[in-house]
Amino acid sequence: MTPHPLLAELTTRVRAKAHATTTACPCGAPDTTGETGATNIQDTPTTTLTDRPDATVVRHAHTVAKAHAPDTDPTHLTQRLTTATLLPDILLPPLTPTPTHLHGRLITFWPYGTPVDPNNPDAAPWEEAATLLAHLHRTPITTPGLAPMRGPLKAAQAITRLRATTHPATTPVLRAWNTLPPWARAETPLPDTTTLCHGDLHLGQLVRHPAPDGPWRLIDVDDLGTGPPAWDLARPAAWYACGLLTPDEWTRFLTAYRMAGGPAVPATGDPWPALDVPARALTAQTAARSITKAVAAGRPLDDVEQALVDACDRMGSTPPELTSAFPK
């Protein structure tokens, strides 16, 4: 099958970028930046890591190219790339601090890092993820005009797609969503404009760099910005509250965050007054995405997806302002 023009050209670009930054590319192509892009892509180790409407990512040797979502704001993305460049001990820095254009999309180039192994959950870097988050949250913002983090906006977009979906599980998810305060639904400004946040933290957002066993770094700056730091803890918190993350893993994550001085929760005591609203929002977002994917695939919800919907059903009967704990 012939790849679509964006994917084909992105593959060419990542090869050229890889050959411009190293003299020992494993594909054996000559070290000439003006000609390598014309080499037959079928004969080289170029891999498509992601190909979705909102992101296309390809890898050639030690270089990765990403085509960002079509509606990506170039000014905001440049601010986020600048921030990553300034924080190489926390965020994976881009190879180039400004995006370029390709087929109407913004593209960026990155060094390759080894991702978390999904088949080895016992080795999941919960402590490292929490420590990186704490350091990020404690870092003064030095990028002028840095936009708000996009977490609530992405959650609201997932809910918008859910509203256009016909499925019995939409009702409890929408009911839970409607109990959230306006800022968590992206209807009003965020309550914190001074803390640097990742905006979309999960284990897929960590890599080891240099590969294969360098230190862990956070990746994917598309949602980076200012906002309430509790949002970055919300996904693991939600999974724990839904019974999808073990108490041991949650305790490891929370303890490491606190030990690193993370400001999202109190240093001791009950963390849930700070985490409850973001955790509810992430539960509704994840449930909404699960339902729309299941409907698109013509399949029933699996056990994990049903657990998220069930949690939304419980949440919908208990608004956040009436409880300090996520209902479990």
What CA–CA distances, in Å, run from 199 to 84, 148, 169, 248, 303? Answer: 14, 9, 26, 24, 27
Spatial separation of the C-alpha atoms in residues 14 and 24, rounded to whole Å: 15
Contacts of 52 (CB under 8 A, 6+ apart): none
The predicted-structure confidence for 196-226, as pLDDT tens digits, reads as follows 999 999 999 999 999 999 999 999 999 999 9
The predicted-structure confidence for 145-192, as pLDDT tens digits, reads as follows 999 999 999 999 999 999 999 999 999 999 999 999 999 999 999 999
- In 3D, which of 197, 85, 181, 183 has the Cα closest to residue 148? 197
For residue 163, count other CB atoms closer than 10 A to its CB: 11
- Using the predicted structure, report yes or no on whether residue 37 has a pLDDT greater than 70: no
What CA–CA distances, in Å, run from 247 to 86, 238, 244, 284? Answer: 35, 12, 9, 21
What CA–CA distances, in Å, run from 94 to 80, 114, 312, 320? Answer: 10, 15, 38, 39
User: In 27-87, at which residue ranges do the beta strands (DSSP E only) sit?
Assistant: 46-52, 55-60, 63-67
